[in-house]
Amino acid sequence: MRSLRQVGVPLAAMIAFLLAWELLVWANGWPNFVMASPSDLPPAFARYWELFLTGSWQTLWRTMVGLALAVVFGILLGMIMGFSRLAREALYPLLVGFNAVPKATVVPIIALLFIGQHDLNTVLMAFMISFFPIAVSISIGLSTLEPEYRDILRSLGASNTTIFWKIALPKTLPEFFGALKVSVTLAFIGTNLMEIISPHGRGLGALFDSGRTNADYPLMFAVLIALALLGIALFYVVVFLERIFAGWAERSPG
């Protein structure tokens, strides 16, 4: 019963959404060059399936590499800010300002900086857009650790490294995964931003762009659906990892 509900309810919602979309296009009598309807999508997928596969793979791996960089850098930065008040006070305004800059404006800057290095540019974009939540969550997790947690080990003469591995890091994991859920989506957006905006891009973003230049609206919408599916898959990978590593933080319902 439970699993039926877990699968059935979201599935029903998705079907309802697709039906409403189809109905909207049909009721308004919109032609394909105004808005594609769900029934236009399977032919588009069938026609370009090879491009979808290679594009998805390119988008996926660059997102993952960018995210991995963001995780490493975000954790390091978060540790520095979490343990040192001075570093926190110094870096916070800088970080907030950096995060506030609309990332679409950064695309041409990076593209000019590393002309032609499309993979590098895309990875860099995914990284830059996604490390902020991770750094903030780690630093907050570490700086709000109750002193008693530290004292139970410190009073035994444990080193700061031991305290970090045994207490601070595991205690911060729930916040970290909360941030990772935001970051994985952000990294994905960063990848696509670069793929769409920069010339001669690759990946699903470039496929979307070619749909736009050729006025192939079903292709554009098919790319959107593919992006959504990829985004959902990435998100649930994080949820899965969270269950494994920070499942203890989840309260049983009721």
Residues engaged in binding another protein (CB under 8 A): 146, 148-149, 151-158, 162, 166-167, 170-171, 173, 246, 248-249, 251
State the DSSP code for 250. S
Query: Shortest distance, CB of residue 163 to another protein, whole angstroms?
Result: 10
Query: Shortest distance, CB of residue 241 to another protein, whole angstroms?
Result: 15
Q: How far apart are CA 115 and CA 190, in angstroms?
A: 18
Cβ partners under 8 Å of residue 209, min gap 6: 195, 196, 201
State which residue, 126 or 173, has the beta carbon closest to another protein: 173
State which residue, 29 or 254, has the beta carbon closest to another protein: 254
Query: Shortest distance, CB of residue 251 to another protein, whole angstroms?
Result: 7
State which residue, 30 or 149, has the beta carbon closest to another protein: 149
Query: Shortest distance, CB of residue 164 to another protein, whole angstroms?
Result: 13
Q: How far apart are CA 250 and CA 58, in angstroms?
A: 34
Cβ partners under 8 Å of residue 242, min gap 6: 174, 177, 180, 181
Cα 191 to chain centroid, rounded? 9
Cβ partners under 8 Å of residue 181, min gap 6: 235, 238, 239, 242
State which residue, 57 or 240, has the beta carbon closest to another protein: 240
Neighbour count for residue 177 (Cβ, 10 Å) = 18
Three-state secondary structure call for residue 190: helix
Query: Shortest distance, CB of residue 121 to another protein, whole angstroms?
Result: 39
Three-state secondary structure call for residue 216: coil
State which residue, 84 or 162, has the beta carbon closest to another protein: 162
